[in-house]
Amino acid sequence: MTGSIVFWIVAIVFVLNLIAAIITVFDEKRDIASIWAWLLVLLLFPVVGFFIYAFLGRKISHSKIFDMRTQDAIGMDQIAENQREVLEDLSEEERNQIHEQDTFLNLFLNNGESVLTQQNSVRLFNEGREKFEALFEDIRNAKSTINVEYFSIFDDDLGNKLVDLLTEKAQEGVKVRVLFDQFGSHGRNRKMYKRFREAGGQEMAFLQTPWPITFRANFRLHRKIVIIDGKIGYIGGLNVGDEYIGKSKKFGNWRDTHLRVVGDAALALQERFFMDWNATAKGDDKLKFSNEYFPKHAADDVKGNTAMQIVTSGPDQDTQQIKEGYMRQIASAHDSITIQTPYFIPDQGIQDMLNVAAMSGVKVRLMIPSVPDHPFVYRATEYYAKELLDAGGEVYTYDDGFLHAKVVVVDGKISSVGSANMDMRSFSLNFEGNAFMYDEDIAAQLEAFFEEDMKKSTKVDEAYFKRQSNWRKFKQKFSRLLSPIL
Protein backbone atom coordinates (compact mmCIF):
# COMPACT_ATOMS: atom_id res chain seq x y z
CA MET A 1 0.00 0.00 0.00
CA THR A 2 2.78 2.40 0.97
CA GLY A 3 4.65 1.61 -2.25
CA SER A 4 1.52 2.36 -4.28
CA ILE A 5 1.11 5.78 -2.63
CA VAL A 6 4.76 6.64 -3.29
CA PHE A 7 4.34 5.58 -6.93
CA TRP A 8 1.32 7.84 -7.42
CA ILE A 9 3.02 10.78 -5.68
CA VAL A 10 6.06 10.41 -7.94
CA ALA A 11 3.82 10.05 -10.98
CA ILE A 12 1.79 13.15 -10.11
CA VAL A 13 4.95 15.20 -9.45
CA PHE A 14 6.39 14.02 -12.78
CA VAL A 15 3.24 14.93 -14.72
CA LEU A 16 2.92 18.33 -13.02
CA ASN A 17 6.62 19.01 -13.64
CA LEU A 18 6.22 18.01 -17.31
CA ILE A 19 3.20 20.29 -17.79
CA ALA A 20 4.95 23.18 -16.01
CA ALA A 21 8.11 22.63 -18.10
CA ILE A 22 6.18 22.73 -21.38
CA ILE A 23 4.24 25.84 -20.38
CA THR A 24 7.40 27.58 -19.16
CA VAL A 25 9.51 26.86 -22.23
CA PHE A 26 6.83 27.57 -24.82
CA ASP A 27 5.63 30.74 -23.11
CA GLU A 28 8.30 32.74 -24.99
CA LYS A 29 9.43 32.58 -28.60
CA ARG A 30 12.70 30.58 -28.78
CA ASP A 31 14.74 28.73 -31.35
CA ILE A 32 14.25 24.98 -31.44
CA ALA A 33 17.68 24.20 -29.94
CA SER A 34 16.93 26.35 -26.86
CA ILE A 35 13.51 24.73 -26.45
CA TRP A 36 14.96 21.22 -26.32
CA ALA A 37 17.85 22.29 -24.07
CA TRP A 38 15.50 23.86 -21.52
CA LEU A 39 13.11 20.92 -21.63
CA LEU A 40 16.08 18.66 -20.89
CA VAL A 41 17.07 20.76 -17.85
CA LEU A 42 13.53 21.06 -16.48
CA LEU A 43 12.80 17.35 -16.89
CA LEU A 44 16.13 16.02 -15.63
CA PHE A 45 16.09 18.27 -12.56
CA PRO A 46 12.48 18.49 -11.29
CA VAL A 47 11.77 21.61 -9.23
CA VAL A 48 15.48 22.52 -9.08
CA GLY A 49 15.39 23.04 -12.85
CA PHE A 50 12.94 25.90 -12.40
CA PHE A 51 15.38 27.73 -10.14
CA ILE A 52 18.04 27.24 -12.83
CA TYR A 53 15.58 28.60 -15.37
CA ALA A 54 14.87 31.66 -13.21
CA PHE A 55 18.59 32.42 -13.23
CA LEU A 56 19.40 31.57 -16.86
CA GLY A 57 16.23 31.23 -18.88
CA ARG A 58 13.86 34.16 -18.32
CA LYS A 59 13.52 36.41 -21.32
CA ILE A 60 13.44 40.18 -21.28
CA SER A 61 9.90 41.61 -21.26
CA HIS A 62 8.20 42.58 -24.51
CA SER A 63 7.50 46.06 -23.18
CA LYS A 64 11.16 46.63 -22.31
CA ILE A 65 12.29 45.45 -25.77
CA PHE A 66 9.73 47.80 -27.31
CA ASP A 67 11.07 50.72 -25.26
CA MET A 68 14.64 49.93 -26.30
CA ARG A 69 13.72 49.76 -29.98
CA THR A 70 11.75 52.98 -30.02
CA GLN A 71 13.51 55.16 -27.46
CA ASP A 72 14.65 58.33 -29.14
CA ALA A 73 17.76 60.49 -29.05
CA ILE A 74 16.89 63.56 -31.07
CA GLY A 75 19.14 64.15 -34.05
CA MET A 76 20.68 60.66 -34.24
CA ASP A 77 18.93 59.93 -37.53
CA GLN A 78 20.58 63.03 -38.97
CA ILE A 79 24.02 61.63 -38.14
CA ALA A 80 23.22 58.34 -39.85
CA GLU A 81 21.83 60.14 -42.90
CA ASN A 82 24.88 62.41 -43.13
CA GLN A 83 27.20 59.41 -43.01
CA ARG A 84 25.16 57.65 -45.70
CA GLU A 85 25.62 60.69 -47.90
CA VAL A 86 29.37 60.51 -47.32
CA LEU A 87 29.31 56.86 -48.43
CA GLU A 88 27.30 57.74 -51.54
CA ASP A 89 29.71 60.55 -52.43
CA LEU A 90 32.85 58.40 -52.39
CA SER A 91 35.04 58.84 -55.43
CA GLU A 92 35.58 55.93 -57.81
CA GLU A 93 39.09 55.48 -56.42
CA GLU A 94 37.74 55.31 -52.86
CA ARG A 95 35.05 52.85 -53.94
CA ASN A 96 37.68 50.62 -55.56
CA GLN A 97 39.61 50.63 -52.28
CA ILE A 98 36.63 49.24 -50.39
CA HIS A 99 35.31 46.98 -53.17
CA GLU A 100 36.12 43.76 -51.29
CA GLN A 101 34.19 45.02 -48.27
CA ASP A 102 31.02 46.00 -50.14
CA THR A 103 29.10 42.98 -48.86
CA PHE A 104 30.01 43.80 -45.24
CA LEU A 105 29.08 47.46 -45.67
CA ASN A 106 25.67 46.58 -47.07
CA LEU A 107 25.02 43.83 -44.51
CA PHE A 108 25.62 46.03 -41.48
CA LEU A 109 24.10 49.17 -43.00
CA ASN A 110 20.88 47.40 -44.00
CA ASN A 111 20.44 45.39 -40.81
CA GLY A 112 21.42 47.87 -38.15
CA GLU A 113 22.33 51.23 -39.68
CA SER A 114 25.97 50.53 -38.83
CA VAL A 115 27.51 53.09 -41.14
CA LEU A 116 31.01 53.02 -42.55
CA THR A 117 33.53 55.43 -41.06
CA GLN A 118 36.85 55.89 -42.83
CA GLN A 119 38.83 58.53 -40.98
CA ASN A 120 40.04 56.61 -37.95
CA SER A 121 43.34 56.15 -36.18
CA VAL A 122 43.49 52.85 -34.28
CA ARG A 123 45.79 51.70 -31.51
CA LEU A 124 45.71 48.04 -30.47
CA PHE A 125 46.24 46.72 -26.95
CA ASN A 126 46.86 43.07 -26.10
CA GLU A 127 46.95 43.44 -22.33
CA GLY A 128 45.20 45.46 -19.64
CA ARG A 129 47.85 47.63 -18.01
CA GLU A 130 48.78 49.48 -21.18
CA LYS A 131 45.14 49.97 -22.13
CA PHE A 132 44.19 51.46 -18.78
CA GLU A 133 47.24 53.72 -18.71
CA ALA A 134 46.14 55.15 -22.05
CA LEU A 135 42.49 55.38 -20.99
CA PHE A 136 43.28 57.14 -17.73
CA GLU A 137 45.51 59.64 -19.55
CA ASP A 138 42.71 60.38 -22.02
CA ILE A 139 40.29 60.87 -19.12
CA ARG A 140 42.68 63.32 -17.45
CA ASN A 141 42.78 65.33 -20.70
CA ALA A 142 39.01 65.32 -21.24
CA LYS A 143 37.49 68.76 -21.84
CA SER A 144 33.71 68.36 -22.04
CA THR A 145 32.20 64.84 -21.86
CA ILE A 146 33.11 61.33 -20.72
CA ASN A 147 30.75 58.38 -21.25
CA VAL A 148 31.71 55.01 -19.77
CA GLU A 149 29.93 51.69 -20.37
CA TYR A 150 31.18 48.34 -19.04
CA PHE A 151 29.84 44.92 -18.16
CA SER A 152 32.01 44.83 -15.04
CA ILE A 153 33.33 47.68 -12.91
CA PHE A 154 34.53 46.07 -9.71
CA ASP A 155 34.91 47.71 -6.32
CA ASP A 156 38.65 47.03 -6.17
CA ASP A 157 41.86 49.02 -6.70
CA LEU A 158 41.43 49.54 -10.45
CA GLY A 159 37.69 50.20 -10.21
CA ASN A 160 38.22 52.81 -7.51
CA LYS A 161 41.05 54.43 -9.46
CA LEU A 162 38.70 54.85 -12.42
CA VAL A 163 35.91 56.29 -10.25
CA ASP A 164 38.38 58.66 -8.52
CA LEU A 165 39.53 60.01 -11.90
CA LEU A 166 35.95 60.41 -13.10
CA THR A 167 35.10 62.19 -9.86
CA GLU A 168 37.95 64.67 -10.40
CA LYS A 169 36.73 65.40 -13.93
CA ALA A 170 33.16 65.86 -12.71
CA GLN A 171 34.44 68.36 -10.13
CA GLU A 172 36.13 70.24 -12.99
CA GLY A 173 32.78 70.59 -14.76
CA VAL A 174 33.14 67.77 -17.30
CA LYS A 175 29.86 65.90 -17.90
CA VAL A 176 30.55 62.33 -16.82
CA ARG A 177 28.22 59.33 -17.06
CA VAL A 178 28.80 55.70 -16.13
CA LEU A 179 26.61 52.80 -17.26
CA PHE A 180 27.33 49.30 -16.01
CA ASP A 181 25.75 45.87 -15.72
CA GLN A 182 24.57 45.23 -12.19
CA PHE A 183 25.09 41.47 -12.38
CA GLY A 184 28.48 41.74 -14.08
CA SER A 185 29.67 44.32 -11.55
CA HIS A 186 28.64 42.23 -8.52
CA GLY A 187 25.95 44.68 -7.49
CA ARG A 188 25.50 48.43 -7.44
CA ASN A 189 28.56 49.31 -5.30
CA ARG A 190 26.85 52.47 -4.04
CA LYS A 191 29.64 53.41 -1.62
CA MET A 192 32.19 53.45 -4.43
CA TYR A 193 30.03 55.84 -6.48
CA LYS A 194 28.93 58.07 -3.57
CA ARG A 195 31.72 60.62 -4.01
CA PHE A 196 31.25 60.51 -7.79
CA ARG A 197 27.55 61.38 -7.50
CA GLU A 198 28.29 64.14 -5.01
CA ALA A 199 30.67 65.69 -7.57
CA GLY A 200 27.88 65.80 -10.17
CA GLY A 201 28.57 62.56 -12.02
CA GLN A 202 25.77 60.23 -13.05
CA GLU A 203 25.85 56.43 -12.76
CA MET A 204 23.21 53.85 -13.57
CA ALA A 205 22.83 50.09 -13.75
CA PHE A 206 21.67 49.09 -17.23
CA LEU A 207 17.91 48.36 -17.28
CA GLN A 208 18.11 48.72 -13.51
CA THR A 209 15.70 46.46 -11.65
CA PRO A 210 15.29 45.23 -8.06
CA TRP A 211 17.95 42.68 -7.08
CA PRO A 212 15.80 39.49 -7.21
CA ILE A 213 14.86 40.33 -10.80
CA THR A 214 18.44 41.26 -11.64
CA PHE A 215 19.59 37.86 -10.39
CA ARG A 216 19.72 36.25 -13.81
CA ALA A 217 22.53 35.50 -16.20
CA ASN A 218 20.81 36.46 -19.45
CA PHE A 219 20.28 39.79 -21.22
CA ARG A 220 23.38 41.38 -19.74
CA LEU A 221 25.07 44.56 -20.92
CA HIS A 222 28.30 42.91 -22.11
CA ARG A 223 29.69 45.90 -24.05
CA LYS A 224 32.94 47.60 -23.01
CA ILE A 225 33.10 51.10 -24.48
CA VAL A 226 34.27 54.57 -23.48
CA ILE A 227 33.85 57.83 -25.42
CA ILE A 228 35.78 60.97 -24.51
CA ASP A 229 34.80 64.40 -25.91
CA GLY A 230 33.12 62.64 -28.84
CA LYS A 231 36.58 62.20 -30.39
CA ILE A 232 38.26 59.26 -28.68
CA GLY A 233 36.63 55.86 -28.29
CA TYR A 234 37.56 52.55 -26.68
CA ILE A 235 36.04 49.18 -27.53
CA GLY A 236 37.12 45.60 -26.88
CA GLY A 237 37.11 42.79 -24.35
CA LEU A 238 38.56 44.33 -21.18
CA ASN A 239 36.36 45.09 -18.19
CA VAL A 240 37.42 47.21 -15.20
CA GLY A 241 38.90 45.23 -12.35
CA ASP A 242 42.19 44.05 -10.89
CA GLU A 243 41.98 40.64 -12.58
CA TYR A 244 42.03 42.35 -15.99
CA ILE A 245 45.49 43.72 -15.30
CA GLY A 246 46.88 40.34 -14.22
CA LYS A 247 46.20 40.49 -10.47
CA SER A 248 43.97 37.41 -10.33
CA LYS A 249 45.30 34.65 -8.04
CA LYS A 250 43.33 32.09 -10.04
CA PHE A 251 44.31 33.11 -13.59
CA GLY A 252 47.43 35.26 -13.25
CA ASN A 253 48.18 36.90 -16.59
CA TRP A 254 45.08 38.13 -18.39
CA ARG A 255 45.37 38.15 -22.20
CA ASP A 256 42.83 40.38 -23.93
CA THR A 257 42.41 42.68 -26.93
CA HIS A 258 41.10 46.24 -26.92
CA LEU A 259 41.08 49.23 -29.29
CA ARG A 260 41.62 52.95 -28.90
CA VAL A 261 40.01 54.79 -31.80
CA VAL A 262 40.37 58.45 -32.72
CA GLY A 263 38.00 59.60 -35.44
CA ASP A 264 34.51 59.18 -36.79
CA ALA A 265 34.02 55.72 -35.26
CA ALA A 266 33.96 57.46 -31.86
CA LEU A 267 30.69 59.08 -32.98
CA ALA A 268 29.23 55.64 -33.71
CA LEU A 269 30.26 54.51 -30.21
CA GLN A 270 28.70 57.68 -28.80
CA GLU A 271 25.45 56.84 -30.57
CA ARG A 272 25.46 53.37 -29.02
CA PHE A 273 26.02 54.86 -25.58
CA PHE A 274 23.12 57.28 -26.10
CA MET A 275 20.82 54.38 -27.00
CA ASP A 276 21.85 52.29 -23.99
CA TRP A 277 21.72 55.19 -21.55
CA ASN A 278 18.28 56.34 -22.74
CA ALA A 279 16.94 52.77 -22.51
CA THR A 280 17.63 53.03 -18.77
CA ALA A 281 17.29 56.74 -17.91
CA LYS A 282 14.02 58.47 -17.12
CA GLY A 283 12.78 62.02 -17.60
CA ASP A 284 15.39 64.75 -17.67
CA ASP A 285 18.21 62.23 -17.31
CA LYS A 286 17.74 61.13 -20.92
CA LEU A 287 20.39 62.36 -23.34
CA LYS A 288 19.65 64.52 -26.36
CA PHE A 289 21.73 65.17 -29.42
CA SER A 290 24.09 68.14 -29.32
CA ASN A 291 27.33 69.16 -31.01
CA GLU A 292 29.04 68.82 -27.64
CA TYR A 293 28.64 65.04 -27.88
CA PHE A 294 28.88 64.76 -31.65
CA PRO A 295 31.54 67.23 -32.79
CA LYS A 296 32.59 67.45 -36.41
CA HIS A 297 36.08 66.02 -36.93
CA ALA A 298 38.45 67.97 -39.11
CA ALA A 299 40.57 65.85 -41.44
CA ASP A 300 43.74 67.19 -39.78
CA ASP A 301 42.54 65.93 -36.37
CA VAL A 302 42.75 62.28 -37.40
CA LYS A 303 46.06 60.74 -38.44
CA GLY A 304 44.71 57.52 -39.88
CA ASN A 305 42.43 56.09 -42.53
CA THR A 306 41.22 52.82 -41.05
CA ALA A 307 37.75 52.02 -42.38
CA MET A 308 35.45 50.42 -39.83
CA GLN A 309 31.90 49.84 -38.74
CA ILE A 310 30.74 49.68 -35.14
CA VAL A 311 28.31 46.77 -35.01
CA THR A 312 26.08 46.04 -32.01
CA SER A 313 23.59 43.30 -31.29
CA GLY A 314 21.27 42.20 -28.52
CA PRO A 315 17.91 40.68 -27.63
CA ASP A 316 16.23 43.99 -28.54
CA GLN A 317 17.06 43.43 -32.22
CA ASP A 318 15.43 41.13 -34.76
CA THR A 319 18.75 40.17 -36.38
CA GLN A 320 21.89 38.77 -34.75
CA GLN A 321 24.16 41.28 -36.43
CA ILE A 322 27.51 40.31 -34.94
CA LYS A 323 26.84 36.62 -35.59
CA GLU A 324 25.95 37.49 -39.18
CA GLY A 325 29.17 39.49 -39.41
CA TYR A 326 31.17 36.47 -38.24
CA MET A 327 29.35 34.29 -40.77
CA ARG A 328 30.11 36.76 -43.57
CA GLN A 329 33.78 36.78 -42.54
CA ILE A 330 33.97 32.98 -42.62
CA ALA A 331 32.12 32.76 -45.92
CA SER A 332 34.46 35.31 -47.54
CA ALA A 333 37.67 33.49 -46.54
CA HIS A 334 39.96 32.21 -49.29
CA ASP A 335 43.22 31.66 -47.41
CA SER A 336 42.94 31.94 -43.64
CA ILE A 337 40.64 32.37 -40.66
CA THR A 338 42.17 33.25 -37.28
CA ILE A 339 39.99 33.15 -34.16
CA GLN A 340 40.68 33.89 -30.50
CA THR A 341 37.82 33.43 -28.05
CA PRO A 342 37.48 32.29 -24.44
CA TYR A 343 34.21 30.50 -25.20
CA PHE A 344 33.85 28.56 -28.44
CA ILE A 345 30.22 27.40 -28.57
CA PRO A 346 29.07 28.28 -32.09
CA ASP A 347 25.65 27.36 -33.38
CA GLN A 348 25.45 24.65 -36.00
CA GLY A 349 25.55 27.11 -38.89
CA ILE A 350 28.86 28.69 -37.89
CA GLN A 351 30.37 25.34 -36.88
CA ASP A 352 29.48 23.88 -40.28
CA MET A 353 30.93 26.89 -42.10
CA LEU A 354 34.21 26.62 -40.19
CA ASN A 355 34.39 22.86 -40.79
CA VAL A 356 33.73 23.29 -44.51
CA ALA A 357 36.35 26.06 -44.73
CA ALA A 358 38.94 23.83 -43.04
CA MET A 359 38.09 20.87 -45.25
CA SER A 360 38.31 23.12 -48.32
CA GLY A 361 41.91 24.07 -47.60
CA VAL A 362 41.40 27.36 -45.77
CA LYS A 363 43.84 27.61 -42.85
CA VAL A 364 41.53 27.80 -39.85
CA ARG A 365 43.26 28.53 -36.54
CA LEU A 366 41.42 28.63 -33.22
CA MET A 367 42.89 29.64 -29.85
CA ILE A 368 41.03 29.04 -26.58
CA PRO A 369 42.12 29.13 -22.91
CA SER A 370 43.85 26.15 -21.35
CA VAL A 371 41.91 26.52 -18.10
CA PRO A 372 38.16 26.93 -17.53
CA ASP A 373 36.45 29.78 -15.74
CA HIS A 374 33.04 28.13 -16.24
CA PRO A 375 33.18 24.29 -16.15
CA PHE A 376 30.18 23.48 -18.38
CA VAL A 377 31.09 26.23 -20.84
CA TYR A 378 34.67 25.01 -21.13
CA ARG A 379 33.65 21.37 -21.66
CA ALA A 380 31.31 22.48 -24.46
CA THR A 381 34.17 24.56 -25.89
CA GLU A 382 36.37 21.45 -25.92
CA TYR A 383 33.67 19.49 -27.73
CA TYR A 384 33.33 22.00 -30.56
CA ALA A 385 37.09 22.54 -30.76
CA LYS A 386 37.55 18.80 -31.34
CA GLU A 387 34.99 18.95 -34.17
CA LEU A 388 37.03 21.69 -35.82
CA LEU A 389 40.24 19.72 -35.30
CA ASP A 390 38.66 16.65 -36.91
CA ALA A 391 37.71 18.80 -39.92
CA GLY A 392 41.33 19.87 -40.43
CA GLY A 393 41.50 23.06 -38.38
CA GLU A 394 44.28 23.97 -35.95
CA VAL A 395 43.46 24.32 -32.25
CA TYR A 396 45.68 25.96 -29.62
CA THR A 397 45.20 26.25 -25.86
CA TYR A 398 46.72 29.41 -24.36
CA ASP A 399 48.88 28.45 -21.37
CA ASP A 400 50.11 31.82 -20.02
CA GLY A 401 47.12 32.75 -17.87
CA PHE A 402 43.60 33.30 -19.21
CA LEU A 403 42.74 34.15 -22.82
CA HIS A 404 39.76 36.55 -22.96
CA ALA A 405 40.31 38.17 -26.39
CA LYS A 406 37.46 38.13 -28.91
CA VAL A 407 39.16 38.43 -32.31
CA VAL A 408 38.42 37.17 -35.84
CA VAL A 409 40.76 37.89 -38.78
CA VAL A 410 40.11 36.72 -42.34
CA ASP A 411 42.66 36.59 -45.17
CA GLY A 412 44.81 39.21 -43.43
CA LYS A 413 42.33 41.90 -44.53
CA ILE A 414 39.12 42.01 -42.51
CA SER A 415 39.12 41.83 -38.72
CA SER A 416 36.75 42.07 -35.81
CA VAL A 417 37.50 43.02 -32.20
CA GLY A 418 34.95 43.55 -29.47
CA SER A 419 32.97 42.04 -26.63
CA ALA A 420 31.21 39.20 -28.50
CA ASN A 421 32.51 35.70 -27.92
CA MET A 422 32.12 32.99 -30.54
CA ASP A 423 29.17 31.53 -28.65
CA MET A 424 25.39 31.42 -28.67
CA ARG A 425 25.08 33.61 -25.57
CA SER A 426 26.87 36.48 -27.29
CA PHE A 427 24.86 35.93 -30.47
CA SER A 428 21.40 36.18 -28.91
CA LEU A 429 21.32 36.67 -25.12
CA ASN A 430 23.71 39.54 -24.37
CA PHE A 431 24.04 43.13 -25.54
CA GLU A 432 27.36 43.17 -27.42
CA GLY A 433 29.53 45.56 -29.45
CA ASN A 434 32.29 44.88 -32.01
CA ALA A 435 34.41 46.90 -34.41
CA PHE A 436 34.66 45.38 -37.89
CA MET A 437 37.76 46.82 -39.56
CA TYR A 438 38.84 46.86 -43.19
CA ASP A 439 42.56 47.52 -42.86
CA GLU A 440 45.39 45.15 -43.72
CA ASP A 441 47.81 46.78 -41.27
CA ILE A 442 45.38 46.24 -38.37
CA ALA A 443 44.78 42.65 -39.50
CA ALA A 444 48.54 42.06 -39.65
CA GLN A 445 48.99 43.36 -36.09
CA LEU A 446 46.22 41.08 -34.80
CA GLU A 447 47.72 38.07 -36.54
CA ALA A 448 51.11 38.98 -35.09
CA PHE A 449 49.50 38.95 -31.63
CA PHE A 450 48.13 35.47 -32.39
CA GLU A 451 51.48 34.15 -33.54
CA GLU A 452 53.19 35.57 -30.46
CA ASP A 453 50.53 33.87 -28.33
CA MET A 454 51.23 30.58 -30.13
CA LYS A 455 54.65 30.56 -28.44
CA LYS A 456 52.82 30.42 -25.10
CA SER A 457 50.28 27.83 -26.21
CA THR A 458 49.91 24.10 -26.75
CA LYS A 459 48.91 22.89 -30.20
CA VAL A 460 46.15 20.37 -29.63
CA ASP A 461 46.14 17.06 -31.52
CA GLU A 462 44.10 13.86 -31.53
CA ALA A 463 46.26 12.43 -28.76
CA TYR A 464 45.24 15.36 -26.51
CA PHE A 465 41.62 14.23 -26.60
CA LYS A 466 42.38 10.51 -26.51
CA ARG A 467 44.25 10.98 -23.22
CA GLN A 468 41.17 12.47 -21.58
CA SER A 469 39.16 10.33 -19.19
CA ASN A 470 35.78 8.89 -20.13
CA TRP A 471 34.19 11.08 -17.47
CA ARG A 472 35.63 14.22 -19.07
CA LYS A 473 34.45 13.11 -22.51
CA PHE A 474 30.98 12.52 -21.07
CA LYS A 475 30.96 16.05 -19.60
CA GLN A 476 31.89 17.45 -23.00
CA LYS A 477 29.04 15.62 -24.71
CA PHE A 478 26.55 16.51 -21.97
CA SER A 479 27.62 20.18 -21.99
CA ARG A 480 27.14 20.23 -25.74
CA LEU A 481 23.45 19.34 -25.18
CA LEU A 482 23.16 22.44 -22.97
CA SER A 483 25.13 24.68 -25.33
CA PRO A 484 22.12 26.72 -26.54
CA ILE A 485 21.60 27.99 -22.97
CA LEU A 486 25.22 28.24 -21.78
When mean pLDDT is compared over 273-277, 279-283, 317-321, 425-429, the highest value belongs to 273-277
Residue 163 · residue 254 · CB < 8 Å: no
Confidence at residue 73, expressed as pLDDT on a 0 to 100 scale? 45
Phi-psi region of 260 (alpha: psi -120 to 50; beta: other; left: phi over 0): beta
Catalytic site residue from 276, 347, 411, 423: 411
Residue 380 pLDDT exceeds 70: yes
The predicted model gives 443-456 an average pLDDT of 98
Catalytic site residue from 297, 404, 413, 475: 404
Task: Determine whether 411 is an active site residue.
Answer: yes
Confidence at residue 72, expressed as pLDDT on a 0 to 100 scale? 46
Confidence at residue 186, expressed as pLDDT on a 0 to 100 scale? 85
User: Residue 119: what residue type?
Assistant: Q
Q: Could you give the angle at the alpha carbon of 276 between the alpha carbons of 274 and 280, nearest 5°?
A: 110
Task: Determine whether 352 is an active site residue.
Answer: no
pTM: 0.84
Catalytic site residue from 406, 413, 423, 453: 406
Confidence at residue 165, expressed as pLDDT on a 0 to 100 scale? 98
Task: Determine whether 406 is an active site residue.
Answer: yes
The predicted model gives 413-428 an average pLDDT of 93
Confidence at residue 156, expressed as pLDDT on a 0 to 100 scale? 95
Residue 338 · residue 450 · CB < 8 Å: yes
HSE toward the beta carbon, residue 163, CA cutoff 13 A: 26
Catalytic site residue from 131, 138, 181, 229: 229
pLDDT band at 63 (very low <50, low <70, confident <90, very high): low
Task: Determine whether 59 is an active site residue.
Answer: no
Q: Is the dihedral of CA 97, 100, 104, 110 positive or negative?
A: positive
Long-range contacts, stretch 136-144, CB < 8 angstroms, 24+ apart: 136/161, 136/162, 136/165, 138/228, 138/232, 138/260, 139/165, 139/166, 139/169, 139/228, 140/165, 140/169, 141/228, 142/169, 142/174, 142/228, 142/229, 143/174, 143/229, 144/174, 144/175, 144/229, 144/230, 144/292
Confidence at residue 94, expressed as pLDDT on a 0 to 100 scale? 60
Residue 241 pLDDT exceeds 80: yes
Residue 339 pLDDT exceeds 90: yes
**b/e sequence 222-238, b meaning 16+ C-beta within 10 Å:** bbbbbbbbbbbbbbbbb
Task: Determine whether 175 is an active site residue.
Answer: no
Confidence at residue 373, expressed as pLDDT on a 0 to 100 scale? 77
Reported as a single tens digit per residue, the pLDDT across 148-201 is 999 999 999 999 999 999 999 999 999 999 999 998 898 878 899 999 999 999
Confidence at residue 483, expressed as pLDDT on a 0 to 100 scale? 62
Residue 91 pLDDT exceeds 70: no
Catalytic site residue from 224, 323, 386, 413: 224
Mean pLDDT score of the chain, rounded to an integer? 83
Reported as a single tens digit per residue, the pLDDT across 100-147 is 566 777 677 666 667 788 889 999 999 999 999 999 999 999 999 999
SS3 assignment, position 20: helix
pLDDT band at 203 (very low <50, low <70, confident <90, very high): very high
Catalytic site residue from 222, 231, 258, 475: 222
Residue 74 pLDDT exceeds 50: no
What share of the chain has pLDDT > 70, as a percent?
A: 74
Residue 411 · residue 333 · CB < 8 Å: yes
Confidence at residue 86, expressed as pLDDT on a 0 to 100 scale? 60
Task: Determine whether 224 is an active site residue.
Answer: yes
Please give the Cα distance from 279 to 277 (Å, whole number): 5
